[in-house]
Every structure is written in structure tokens, then in C-alpha cells.
Structure 1
Amino acid sequence: MDLLERLFRLSENGTSVRTELLAGLTTFLTMAYIILVNPTILADAGIPMAGAAAATCLGAAFGSILMGLFARSPIALAPGMGLNAYFTYTVVRGMGLPWETALGCVFLSGLAMLLLTVAGLRQLILAAIPQSLYAAIAAGIGLFIAFIGLHGAGIVVANPATAVALGDLASPNAGLAAFGLAVTAGLMVWRVRAAIIIGILATTALAWALGLVDFKPGPYSVEALGSTAFSLDIPAALGLGGGTLGIALIEIVFIFLFVDLFDNLGTLVAVNRRAGLMRPDGTIPRLRRVLLTDSAATMVGAVAGTSPVVNYIESAAGVSAGGRTGLTSITVGVLFLLALFAAPFAQAIPAAATAPALILVGAMMMAPLAEADWNDPAVAIPAFLTLIGIPLTFSISNGIAFGVIAYTVLKLVQGRAGRKDWLMFVLAALFLARFIWLGAG
């Protein structure tokens, strides 16, 4: 215990070993779905499912443990949703690239992020964004994960006429989620530190008791990792084999890099704000180490055989359960390692059990909005576009893009643009170029 105290400064951060372990378990339970979802998506790209499952666990374990040991941050990592879909349905199936070449592109994007971090450019980007946008990013991500929770619970559903609509509240899934919301919210009101994990476990127990969990683990072997490990084709990703894909390959690497960069930025801001870890000047402690970690995790994930590894916004659930140090993320990483030695067990925890955690964590992430001056249109408009853009476009990057572009345009209209804003204008130009490229596609 003394070693853990010295390494993670638990007392200084107002936490304990027990709290950190519970927080890690909470984060793991809210993101364990990736063990099943990621291999299913990557299998559509032709990647062997068992190998993709093992690579998913390995990439998440490596990134999370490195984040805890090296950066001492409570943020967990795993292959990112959205980027895995882009990998499969746009790069492999849409553009016809072999999945081995696509993995090579993932590796190169991780290497590019590593070099940008060493050069200090990623840190400059974080420093350039105004505090009002940071507040909107954190709250927007709160709305985003709350929406994911509401959808997972079946409370909000797709509707062709109105985009979204109220789901069937009489369904077992919605009933379980309502039970979980009531239990977890009540415990949070009573200031129970383990409220989220207790809520998840109580809802899971009820689902099992009512026979609402369809748990049928399939065959799985750690040895299956060999079917994807070291399969990436970096020479092909560099276009060294000739052909007509040179420009396309550059675009693929750029998209991986671009989306990964700004999704990670949003997650870092949101989770660190929720944990109260942001410094008074708005900077993130040990930022360089955090950024080096997610870059290295993406590269290792590509070698293992999975799409880009990113910081997970579900880490906010663990932070809400009291996680404040790297011991939280190490716990997540160890649990992902244990998942390598067993059948994928995430099915044992229904979506209705984790949905309340996401909804309530999202609610608690609204607090930073009080920091923005909503009476100043130059502040309020970019902040609002960021806030609403993240959940409605289902993309952290798009929400940040709306805010950055609006901020720079209004700066020009006011005639208040200065030299210190140069990087924001560069970012706005890049975001505009990205939207033009996506529109042309």
C-alpha cells in the first residue's frame, strides 16, 4: 500500500486504493461492450473475429496500463467507436483496401500523432482553444454519452419522420434502465461513492433474475491473437507498391489522425474537468505523457490487429465513482488482460445496466456550462454550436469543428483577431477543408 501511495499520491488526490479499484471496475463495465462490438465490426472488413477480439483486449490493456503507469491519469483506452466503422466500411469495403494495408495506415497515423506530440504541436492546439469552448466540449460530450445511454436503454429510438422519438417504455429493457436510474440516482443523492457500480450490479442481477440476459459465450482462444498480430502492411500503406492509391492512402492516414486527435482532445478535457484535475490556468497535468500514451497505444493496437485506440469517454463513469489517479486506468487494463483468458463475458452485463451510468454521468457533466458567458454572443454562439453539434452529429470532432469555425468567424467580424489566434485560424481552415473533402466524397 505504501508503494501505491508513493506512486499515485492517493491521499494528495483525495482517494484510496479501494476507491480507485472500484472506479476502474466501473469504467471497465461501461466500456466492456467494445470486446464484442469491435470484433463484430472488424469482421466485416475480413479480419478474423477471434483475432480481432484478442487484439481489442490487448490494445485496451496496453493503452490503459501505460496511461496509469506513465501518465498517472484515470483515463482508460480502447479501440474507438466510429473509427472502427470508418476503418471497415469506408477504407476496406468502400475503397477496396486490404485490411492489412488499412492496419498499416492506422500505425502511420499513430506514428504521426507521436511525432506531433514530441514536436509540441498537439499541446499547442490544446492551449489555443478558449476556455468557453472547453466548457462546451465537456458538456457536449456529457450530452453525447447521455444520448448513447438513452438509446442503449431503448428510451430514445430512431424515427424516420422525426429523427428520434420516445421508445417503448413498457419494454423490459426500458424498465431495467428505469430501475437502474432510480437506484443509482438515489445512491448518488445519498453521496454513496460506489453508487454507479452498485447500480450496474443491481440492474444486472435483476436482469438475470428475470431471465432477460441472453449469455451465450462463443469459443475463444488467446492463441487466436496470432491470426491478426503483425499482419499490418506498412509498405503498402506508404504506397511503396505503386498503383493509384497514393493520394487515397494519404487521405486515410489524415482522417485517422484528424478524428483521433480531436476526439481525444474532447475526452481529455471532459474527463479531467469532471475529475477536477484541470489546473487553474486550464491546462491538463502531465499532458505530454497522456498524448504520448494514446499515440503509442494506437501503434501497438495496429500491430496487434485492431483499429485506432483512443481515450474513452466512458472513463467519466469511473471518475464519477471517485477515480482520480493512474490506479484506476491500470485496473481497467488488468481487467482487459483477464478478458483475454476467458470467453467474451461482456454479454453478461446488459446494455440496460450500463445505460443509467452513462445517462447520469452525462447529467453531472453539465456543470462547466456555468463558466461560459452566455450573454456575450461571441462566446455563446460558438459554445452552443459545439454543445449541440457533438450529440446531434454523433461526433466529438464535428462539434469541436463547429465551435472553432464559428469562433474564428466571429473574431473576424468583431475585428478582434490577433496574432495569438493564429492557430485557431489554422484549425478552422483545416476543419473547413475536411468538411469540403467529406462533401466532395
Structure 2
Amino acid sequence: MLWLQLATVLFFIFIGARLGGIGIGYAGGAGVIVLALMGMETSMAYIPMEVILIIMSVIAAIAAMQRAGGLDYLVHISEKMLRKHPQYITFAAPMVTYFMTLLAGTGHTAFSTLPVIAEVAKEQGIRPSKPLSIAVVASQIAITASPISAAVVAFAAMLHPFGISYLQLLCIAIPSTFIAIMIGAVVANLLGKPLLEDRVYQARLAEGLIKKREQGEYTPTSDAKFSVYAFVTAIVLVVTYAIMLSGFIEHPTIGRSEAIMAIMLATAGVIAMKCKLNVNDITQMPTFRAGMCACICVLGVAWLGSTFVNGHIDEIKELSGSLLASYPWMLALILFFASMLLYSQGATTAALMPAALAMGVEPIAAIASFAAVSALFVLPTYPTLLAAIEMDDTGSTRIGKYVFDHPFLLPGIVTIAASVTIAFVIGGMVL
């Protein structure tokens, strides 16, 4: 029955992947129904409500900032940085998407910078697939280092009973992932023939399909600047409060997760009032729609995965416990392949990390393996990956004949492997 139910879980994940987008959540809900009909017990407790609520709260603030013009302001700052040293675009691009994701807690901020990255690379005669590939990977792995991402906050709560603080988690995650994306950038820079020698580019150039992006004058408004300053202030408050909870406040009246939600909602309200926004317009923002889509995806697929894992926790411990105890790095492989299918760092973390820790996996191994929940680049169907392909009119960023032979795969694998390795080393010093 275990293998039949596992096949059912994989089948509905596959159906969700074929549907794409919010369809992953729909398929997850259908899978829960089938598992229940097969005799598996499920519960509201298996739904990662904390992850979903944090995503909703953070996205509410980001959408308000976008409506006020804040995201355009951030893109303007990013473009100035990228154009300052355009010859180093393959290394500057992932830094930009990494820090934007670190700041916002969502990789969807990368959408706005991808056209700039593609254009700067094209102007320099650099194959756009090089900076675009590692930039997309950086936006995904940065989720596991962002102080306000749902995945980090949920994982920090799981580690608390082991005496590991939120600050210690960030002290390991941030440097390990940042160093790893720079290693990934070196790999990305070595891949692919020069742009001028690419046959697809030559054909597109001959057909007049290569367009030059117009650089318009941009003057940030006071509302745009205020919204960014307000959002950054909110992040500083969140991190400061989390640090205080780690040793200065013994009996807090509001927990870390609750504080993140409250601060983010309050920040959205402050931005809306100060900038005189029509709050109905906020729900029409692309970031708001993407964030709510992510909530449905996490709801469905994490509920499906948690139902299966909790229903067979004893068998899973028996099958995997000794293996993970002897080879803790194997957890990274499990998380890597799971995130390929679950399409969400938060969902993968909520579905598998509690089981891994319950099986006796050492906290340091779990923290080091955490970056592996970011393998969303393997299947070439993730929104930011598809957007990068669409933004590159040279045709250098393309899916190959065999589906998996795309430019994101090798830089992504190297980045995650490097992050896991470096995190083991840093974790040994921090913990």
C-alpha cells in the first residue's frame, strides 16, 4: 500500500506540473482526496498554515510597494549597477537577483530585472544565457537565506527545539548561498559558444528579430522612494526582533512568525496611506497575483506530501533513518529531487524537513542541506525560468532537444552542491 500511495502522490504532482502555475495546488487537493479514499488519514494540522500566512503578509507589503512605484525604483538602482561594469554582467546579474530576493523574500522580483540583464549582455556581445541562467538560480536559492521568506521562518521554528536560533541559521545560510552563486557564475560563464558564433542568433539577426531595448529617462517619485524605505525598515524591524527573541526577551507577547505577519501588514497599510493608494489596485499587481498563486500551490502540494509522510512516518524512518544517519548529505539529494516536483521551497521545507529531523538527522546536516530545496530550475517550466527564455531574443537561452539540456541546469546543480558543502563548513564553526 505504501508504494501504491507513493505512486498516487507522484502522479498528482506530475499532473500539477503539466498544468503549471496554480494547477500544482489544484492537483495537490485532488491527490489528498484520493489518498483519503485509500484509507489515509489527513488533517488541517498537515497544512503549513504558517508558511502560507507569511507568504500572504509579505506579498501584501511587496504589492503595495510595487503599486507605489517602489519596484521600478529598485529596478532602476539595479540597472545602474549592471551598466556600471557591463563586462562583468555574468557576476553582477546574480548578485542583483540574489539581494532583491533576499530583501523581498520572494524570487518573483527577478522578473523585473531579467530584461535589463538580457539587454546589457547583448550590448556587450556576451551570450545572454550566461547571466540569465545564474541570475534565475540565484533568485531561487536566495529564498533559503532571506530573513523574511516563509521557508526560512518555518525552518527556523523547526530548529528551535534543538537550540539553534534564527540568527545562527541566517549566519550559515547567507554566506554559504552567496559564495555558491559566485561559484555558479564562474561555471555559467564557461558554458556555451560565443554569441556571434551561435547559429540561432545568426538566423534571428538575419531575420531582423533582434530588438534593442529603449532606455527611457526615469525619475523616481517620492512615493516610490518612501515605499522602498518603509519596506527596508520593516525588514530591519523583523530581523532586530528575531535577534532579541534569541536571548533578550524571555516571555514575548508576540512570536517571530506573528511579528513578521503583523509588521508586513502594517507596512502595507503605512505605504497605502502615505502614498494615497487605492487599495483595490494593490490586488491587481503582478506580485500580488503571483504570491496568491504561490499560496494555493503550497496549500495543495504540501498538504498532499505531508499527508503521505505523516501516514508512513514509521516506514520512512525504517527505510531512510539508518541511511541518513550514515550519509547525512543524502538529505540534500532527497530535498533536491522533491523540490523539482513540489515547485516551492516553502512546500518542500514544510513537507520533508520535520520528517528528516524526526528521523534523527543532525541539525547541522539539515541546515547544510537546506539550499537543496531550491532545485526549481531542473524542469524548464518554472515562471522565472520561462521568463528568462522569453526575454532573450537572441535565442541563446533556450530549452534543448532533450528538455533537460538547458542552460540553467549545470550552474544550478553546481550552485546547490557548493552551498551544501560550504554550509557544512560554516555550520561547524557557528554551531
TM-score (norm 2): 0.27
Larger RCO (CA under 8 A, 6+ residues apart): 1
Q: Which structure features the higher share of helix residues?
A: 2
TM-score (norm 1): 0.27
